[in-house]
Amino acid sequence: MLSDSILTAITLLPAAGALVVALLPRKGRTIQWFTLLVTLATFILSLHLPAHFDYARRGFQFEENRPWISSPAIRYHLGIDGLSLWLVLLTTFLGVIGVLISWRAIETRTKEFYFLFLLQQTAMVGVFVALDLFLYYGFWELSLVPMAILIAMFGPTRGRQAALKFFLYTFLPSALFLVAILWLYAKTGTFDFVQLQNALTNQPALFNPQALWWASLAFLVAFAVKVPVFPLHGWLSDAIQEAPTAMAMVVAGKLGLYSIVRFNLGLFPTQARAIAPLMIALAVTGLLYGALVALAQTDMKRLVAYSILSNLSFCTLGIFCFAVAGLNGAVFQTINEGVTGGALLVLVSLLYGRYGTYDMSLYGGLAAKLPMLATLYVITALALIGLPLFNGFVGEFLVLSGGFQDHPGWIAAAAISVILSASYILWMVQRIFYGEPSSLVVHRPAMDLNAREHLMLWPMAILMLVMGVAAPYWMKAINGAVSGLAGSSAGTAAEPAAQTAAATAASRETQ
Amino acid sequence: MNDSLRILPEIVLTIAGVVVMVVDALMPKASNRKPLGWLAALGALAALAASLWQYQLPPGTAYFGVVQTDAFSVFFHVLIGGILLTSLLITLDAVAPGTEGLGELFALMLFGSVGMMLMSSAVELLLVFVALEISSISTYIMAGFRRKSAKSPESALKYFLLGSFATAFFLYGIALIFGATGTTRVAAIGAAVNGTHAPGLLFAGLAMIIIGLGFKVSAAPFHVWTPDVYEGAPSPVVALMSTGPKAAAFAVLLRIAYGALPQLHGHWVPILWWLAVISMTVGNLGALRQHNVKRMLAYSSIAHAGYILVAFTALSADGVAAASFYAVSYAAMNVGIFAVISHVGGYDDQLTSIDDYRGLGYSSPLLGGAMTLFLISLIGIPFTAGFFGKFYVFAAALHSGMVWLTIIGLINSGLAAFYYLRVAVAVYSRPVEAAPVMSVAKASFPLQLALLLTAAATLILGIVPGNVLNAARAAAQIFYSVGNGN
């Protein structure tokens, strides 16, 4: 019974919560407690999904498919597979963290903040579960609005510009994306993902190949901006700098990457394969560019922004190598980026809350003063640079090993960025936590983590470790979904290969 | 008796208008005229109910076949009734009790709506012309209603001069069509087109009619009056005249294009194609440069007229339905946003620059939130009326192979996001330090009601458009039933 409408519940519960928030009094912390309750409830509901997920089954599960509008034929079609399963959980998990990090950071206009925050949750979960292109496009566009308004409202210095930039960067390509969706509908008479996939594979005669190319490109550009893929990343660092931490954690990455895998690989495999060389080149460029720019930063939030760009390019690389292991790694790395990158943004914002600056040169010797914060910072840093035993290692290993066979040159270049990322991350840790205590650190009272901060950081740290050690548990769902996308020819043969690759990666760590 | 039932909403509104005028004359000079607004709103409500009631009438004509009640005319009657009711509520909120000539304003709104309603049900072109004049003359007067400001009479005069010029075009077009076909009845013209001995006259007549109606819907290049008139006219009036006469003029254009002259589509589709492209582009580019919210919305209304014209080129039942649906969704969001503007600026339009809206979201969360919702809908973000309207229009156009028009249109709508967003961002940014802080009065009951109606319509049309969509499709079917198809 619960399985029949669980996805609707997870998607719409935050939006329903938002409506209640609009009616709550501003006094005290009622709104915060209520939002926490809503996000916790959503997270607990979403735990139902992995518990009842059938790993042996192909196709979509927990499906809901009801008529919505008769003509144009739009259906309310939700469903998840191994690809979206963990992304939904990641979103609901980060929802709880987002409330906790905003607890003290957002003291004014709380009603507006939590209203939009919950709406954003609905939009993001909706993107992952929608299987009707109209519905999907709805959530996709909806996810822009609360984000843009929150950046405009809470951006400390250039909020308005950052919000406009973010919105226009993502909205303009969406217009062409909509043309492509409408074109597909005109040709097939359906918006349903599954039916479209069937039509595209079985009735290629319906489509003009030239037009199909343009359609796939319209999809890809819209998604690539949202990831972002180099050179479409112009909005990213501003948005991350100006957005409240809870929003900066979710502004980039998973929505775009998921959509590329779901739609470009799922609907337009031939076109995606043809454009792969370009995408690989862009991904590696973004990887090195992000890492090098991060290396040159003195502002830690900008450093994190560029490290996110670099890490997301890694996922793009994994997707377009078209190897099962690479795809597994890319999806896994997308989730990692959500957890680890999110944790790093939280930690950076905690430092800002205590010392009022992002300038690393003003810090120093903090480890002795704030031992708990330092410990968690180091754990996160190690996970981010892909130290074995942590989640980052599994993802990077799979992407690199998966792509090496076909693209040794590009993979070698990508491997350099692994070294670069270790340098800028560890250098940042060294500048902030070690060395002589700076005057700023000496003169401010040392406040280590409080209970609320422990409560949000430890689950993330533990997750980094568990995802690293028990990677195959996550992998079995992901692999089931992506193995079919990697190649129709090598599809079945490659499946066990990926399983073993994941197992090897895991066993290497435990050694 | 049966005949008068077919114009029941018009009769109700006329009676209400006359009653308002008579009571206005009987009231002492200094007394509060606001109750008259409630009386007018009651009349609008009754007309709305009468329009809805007309759905159960069997389709048919009255008064020697000059008026036709069908799913199409009733659809637009209900729409205009809704617009009128909401605009009256907005007016009630915006005006001070002692405003000069308030009773006449309410009466004019009612009389104007009679004309608009009649436009959508008239099937005799001369009656269309009379109805068009009723609606136009009322709006000319309403545009100039703030006699003491300089801009309002200026806008009225501009509107009047250009408007009467356009109606002349329309009338001339009717004459030419009569010359070519020997009739001014919509259905008879359709039947006579094939046997015409003067095709040149027919095309010239069609072109004249398109020019005349193009002016009324403010399609570029016949749009030059729009920004000045919207800026000068009182905001509550703009709420009515930016949506009502436009919807009615589109209904007339649909009836003539699809009802009378479907065989000539080879001629009018290219014309409307270009009108659509020029309107969308001119409207959006013009809006980008505006700092006055009302002027910006004037240009935006030109662009939205372009979107509706896109649906005309689809040449299908879906196209007609999409145009009708878009008229409804545009009305919902545009009346809504003018409700906010007229409350913030007041009847005298004191605050109309975009900077005046900075911080509105904090000083009045209700108005700021409503404003944002309407802006989001105008941008075309999903789950709002604006998105579904646009989606339906472009789906219909693309289905008929209008790929380039769709691409141009959607790129335009992407561009448009910029200027709407500038206002939305202003609503939620901190006010300029130096600017005098104008406190916004608390929203009165009629305004709350108007906002509730328009916001609910905006969301319902975006999330569960099923019923309205079915009504629009039923309306479109009248052009595609047996013996009338193309």
CA distances from B212 to B147, B165, B168, B185, B466 (A): 28, 8, 8, 18, 34
- Does B484 map to a domain? no
Structure-token pair, residue A386:
């892909």
- Does B482 map to a domain? no
| Residue A417: partners with Cβ closer than 8 Å, 6 or more residues away | A284, A287, A288, A290, A291, A310, A314
Q: Is B313 exposed, middle or buried (0-12, 13-18, 19+ CB in 10 A)?
A: buried
**Distance to chain A for B77, nearest Cα, Å:** 24
Contact at CB, B425 and A112, closer than 8 angstroms: no
B contact residues 462-481, partner A, Cβ 8 Å cutoff: 465-466, 469-470, 473
Alpha helices in A63-158 (DSSP H): 82-105, 110-129, 133-142, 144-154
- Does B350 map to a domain? yes
Q: Which residues on chain A are in Cβ contact (under 8 Å) with B422?
A: 164
State whether residue A148 sits within 8 Å of chain B by CB: yes
State whether residue B140 sits within 8 Å of chain A by CB: no
- Does A83 map to a domain? no
State whether residue B22 sits within 8 Å of chain A by CB: no
Contact at CB, A145 and B376, closer than 8 angstroms: yes
- Residue B382 CA to residue A173 CA, distance in Å, equals 15
> A364, A337, A343, A336: which is closest to A428 by C-alpha?
A364
Structure-token pair, residue A198:
């069937």
Contact at CB, B365 and A72, closer than 8 angstroms: no
Closest by Cβ to A72, choosing from B392, B415, B428: B392
Contact at CB, B429 and A159, closer than 8 angstroms: yes
State whether residue B15 sits within 8 Å of chain A by CB: no
Which of B363, B411, B421 would you mutate first to test chain A, the one with the most A CBs within 10 A? B421
3-class state of residue A75 by DSSP: strand
Which neighbouring-strand residues pair with B185? B124
**Distance to chain A for B462, nearest Cα, Å:** 10
Contact at CB, B392 and A148, closer than 8 angstroms: no
Q: Which residues of B344-377 are buried (b: 16+ CB within 10 A; e: fewer)?
A: bbbbbbebbbbebbbbbbbebbebbbbbbbbbbb
- Residue B47 CA to residue B45 CA, distance in Å, equals 5
Per residue in A109-149, pLDDT (tens digit) is 888 899 999 999 999 999 999 999 999 999 999 998 889 88
User: Confidence class of residue A494 from pLDDT cuts 50, 70 and 90?
Assistant: very low
Contact at CB, B382 and A164, closer than 8 angstroms: no
**CA A128, chain centre distance (Å):** 11
CA distances from A488 to A261, B251, B271 (A): 15, 53, 49
Residue B55: DSSP 8-state:
T
Residue B33: DSSP 8-state:
-
Structure-token pair, residue A113:
């903040």
- Residue A243 CA to residue A152 CA, distance in Å, equals 8
State whether residue B145 sits within 8 Å of chain A by CB: no
Find out whether B66 and B123 touch, Cβ atoms under 8 Å: yes
pLDDT at A18: 92
> B406, B114, B350, B439: which is closest to B245 by C-alpha?
B114
Q: Is A495 exposed, middle or buried (0-12, 13-18, 19+ CB in 10 A)?
A: middle
- Residue A291 CA to residue A305 CA, distance in Å, equals 10
CA distances from B441 to A491, B89, B351, B366, B438 (A): 66, 16, 13, 12, 9
| Token pair 């690809």: residue | A83
pLDDT at B41: 95
Find out whether B428 and B368 touch, Cβ atoms under 8 Å: yes
- Does B483 map to a domain? no
| Domain extent at residue A325 | 274-511
Alpha carbons within 13 angstroms on the beta-carbon side of residue A50 total 17
**CA A433, chain centre distance (Å):** 28
Residue B123: DSSP 8-state:
-
Closest by Cβ to A178, choosing from B410, B415, B421: B410
| Domain extent at residue B172 | 2-477
| Token pair 């799922």: residue | A266
Contact at CB, A139 and B382, closer than 8 angstroms: yes
pLDDT at A500: 55
- Residue A307 CA to residue A317 CA, distance in Å, equals 15
Closest by Cβ to B383, choosing from A69, A142, A152: A142
User: Confidence class of residue A493 from pLDDT cuts 50, 70 and 90?
Assistant: very low
Neighbours of B291 (CB within 10 A): 11
State whether residue A16 sits within 8 Å of chain B by CB: no
* ipTM for the whole complex: 0.88
Q: Is A271 exposed, middle or buried (0-12, 13-18, 19+ CB in 10 A)?
A: buried
In chain A, whose CA is at the least distance from the CA of B366? A22
- Residue A376 CA to residue A382 CA, distance in Å, equals 10
Find out whether B87 and B335 touch, Cβ atoms under 8 Å: yes
Please check the confidence at residue A462 and state whether its pLDDT lies above 60: yes
Question: What average pLDDT does the structure give for chain A?
Answer: 87
- Residue B75 CA to residue B250 CA, distance in Å, equals 13
Q: What is the pLDDT along chain B (486 residues), one digit of tens a residue?
A: 588 889 999 999 999 999 999 999 998 888 888 889 999 999 999 999 999 999 988 888 889 889 999 999 999 999 999 999 999 999 998 888 777 788 899 999 999 999 999 999 999 999 999 999 999 999 999 998 888 888 888 889 999 999 999 999 999 999 999 999 989 999 899 888 888 888 889 999 999 999 999 999 999 899 999 999 998 888 899 999 999 999 999 999 999 999 888 888 888 999 999 999 999 999 999 999 999 999 999 999 999 999 999 999 998 999 999 999 999 999 999 999 999 999 988 777 777 888 888 888 888 888 988 999 999 999 999 899 999 999 999 999 998 888 899 999 988 988 888 899 888 888 877 766 555 555 677 788 999 999 999 999 999 999 999 899 999 999 999 888 744 433
Number of compact structural domains in chain A = 1
CA distances from A130 to A140, A188, B121 (A): 10, 19, 42
- Residue A79 CA to residue A201 CA, distance in Å, equals 21
**Distance to chain A for B119, nearest Cα, Å:** 28
Number of compact structural domains in chain B = 1
User: Confidence class of residue A489 from pLDDT cuts 50, 70 and 90?
Assistant: very low
- Does B334 map to a domain? yes
CA distances from A191 to A186, B30, B248, B459, B463 (A): 10, 62, 33, 22, 16
- Does A183 map to a domain? no
| Token pair 């319902």: residue | B460
Contact at CB, B414 and A185, closer than 8 angstroms: no
- Residues making up chain B, counted from first to last: 486
Contact at CB, B391 and A179, closer than 8 angstroms: no
3-class state of residue A2 by DSSP: helix
Closest by Cβ to A164, choosing from B318, B410, B425: B425
- Residue A182 CA to residue B463 CA, distance in Å, equals 18
- Does B420 map to a domain? yes
Per residue in A355-374, pLDDT (tens digit) is 888 888 888 888 888 888 89
Find out whether A227 and A316 touch, Cβ atoms under 8 Å: yes
Terminal CA-CA length for chain B: 35
Find out whether A177 and A138 touch, Cβ atoms under 8 Å: no
- Residue A25 CA to residue A155 CA, distance in Å, equals 25
State whether residue A138 sits within 8 Å of chain B by CB: yes
Closest by Cβ to B398, choosing from A139, A164, A186: A186
In chain A, whose CA is at the least distance from the CA of B382? A138
CA angle B457, B458, B462 (to 5 degrees): 110
**Distance to chain A for B380, nearest Cα, Å:** 9
State whether residue B392 sits within 8 Å of chain A by CB: yes
